[in-house]
Amino acid sequence: MFERRPKKINYQTVLRDVARSMVRLKRPERLLKLITRYIDRELGLSHTSLVVLEETRDRFIFVDSKGSRRVPIGLIKFEMNHPLVLWFRAEKGKELKCEDFLQRSLLAKGLANGRLKMLVPERRQLYEKVKKAMDDLKIELAIPGYFKRTLIGLLLLGEKKDRKPFTKSEISFFQTLTQDCSMAVKTAEYHRSLIDKNVELERQLKEIHNLRKKEQETYYEIMRSLAQEVHAKDPLTYGHINDVEYLGLKTAEELGLDLTGRKRDILSAGLILHDVGKIGIPDQVLKKPTGLSGEEREIMKTHVDKGVKILEPLTNFKEVIEIVRTHHENFDGSGYPLGLKGDAIPIEARIVSVVDAFHAIVTSRCYRSNRSVELAFDELKKCSGTQFDPQVVDALIRMVHKEKVRRGSGFFNLFTPS
């Protein structure tokens, strides 16, 4: 299908390879340079050059130039008013019937034989300027590459060694090649813009995430302070809420619970925050040491729902909220607010229930004595299997004995009012 040429090129193979590379390469500059070198090596023209539209879209720059008359690519740029750019952006050379390419020999002939004298002066001037630009850079053939009617690049070729004109099939080959290159440039540009957008999106998401995290941490700190305030207000308890946290974690360890990663933090937050809803209970009810009326008991029970509502804004606290919701459920199903039974109550809530009762007894002013720990054990055992999970009660008692051996009487001083 191709005419004879000094060095036979397998055009279809070249085009296929170009198309494959176009998909593979993220940086089309490499492909464009490879093409320039390929044409230079196979055809040995006086020069082979490629210019492409810069992404800023205000000029065309040389990607590469090869051959004995190569263009000094660092020195020459095509501004948007360069004759070749103007020509291919708007003119397309219809009068010379060379359609989507410019051949200097044909242009010279047209100007020499007077065929263009009929044109308006501006048009003729453009032809002359194009011819001069091609003369200056020794361009014999200029082929444009478009993408959606936008001029993306130009393949600029010097003379053949034998000085023969380019054949139609060679021009057709170069046109396809230039179109492929334009497509590669546009595809890479599109990829880059997608990557840039992704990077920006990721940055914004990270910023939102950090802000959200900060906000949640601040909220948690406020909740912790509230819980301590509530704990301090309660006339039945003494000591710091951190003691409850310590006892709960040690009991969980004694039970052999998995406390790795988030699990430890969840139990810890549950132990600290379970009564935070008491902040919404009136002082005359909260501070009443004993003898709550039926109505007052119902008011007191609402601290569970109030606590859940207070913690709801902490989106990462779903499991903690469940502990708060169920910390007054009883092992035999007689608790509130849901009447859950046995394993249906989260183990963390069962631990909170036992530890909170133990801590309340040993720190209570009503039980203030050296026997307070033993009394607390008796109370827990009495309610084991009904209010409390027996396994948790046993684990707490074992743990306290172990701690007593390990730390001596210092452990009990933890709960002794000053």
Q: Which is nearer to Fe ion, 64 or 275 (CB)?
A: 275
From the CA atom positions of the chain, what is the Rg in Å? Answer: 42
Q: Which is nearer to Fe ion, 45 or 355 (CB)?
A: 355
Q: Mark residue 27 as left, alpha or beta (left: phi above 0; alpha: psi -120 to 50; beta: remaining).
A: beta
- 170 touches Fe ion (CB under 5 A): no
| Minimal distance, residue 296 CB to Fe ion, in Å | 15
Q: Which is nearer to Fe ion, 245 or 275 (CB)?
A: 275
Q: For the segment 226-285, give every residue that binds Fe ion (CB under 5 A).
A: 275
Q: Which is nearer to Fe ion, 139 or 269 (CB)?
A: 269
∠ CA 236-312-258, nearest 5°, is: 75
| Minimal distance, residue 277 CB to Fe ion, in Å | 8
Query: Cα(69)–Cα(79) distance, rounded to whole angstroms?
Result: 22
Query: Residue with the closest Cβ to Fe ion?
Result: 275
∠ CA 352-353-357, nearest 5°, is: 110
| Minimal distance, residue 274 CB to Fe ion, in Å | 6
Listed in order, strand segments (DSSP E) in 158-311 are none
Q: Which is nearer to Fe ion, 140 or 275 (CB)?
A: 275
The site for Fe ion, by CB under 5 A, has a size of 1
| Minimal distance, residue 407 CB to Fe ion, in Å | 28
The one-character DSSP state at 2 is P
Amino acid of residue 238: Y
Cβ partners under 8 Å of residue 165, min gap 6: 103, 105
Using a 10 angstrom Cβ sphere, with 0-12 exposed, 13-18 middle and 19 or more buried, the burial of residue 324 is: buried
The one-character DSSP state at 167 is P
| Minimal distance, residue 209 CB to Fe ion, in Å | 33
| Minimal distance, residue 328 CB to Fe ion, in Å | 6
| Minimal distance, residue 273 CB to Fe ion, in Å | 10
The one-character DSSP state at 208 is H
Q: Which is nearer to Fe ion, 271 or 376 (CB)?
A: 271
Q: Which is nearer to Fe ion, 73 or 236 (CB)?
A: 236
Query: How many Cβ atoms are within 10 Å of 261's Cβ, its own excluded?
Result: 8
Per 3-state DSSP, the chain is made up of helix, strand and coil in percentages (nearest 5) of 60, 10, 30
Write out the residues near Fe ion by the rule CB under 5 A: 275
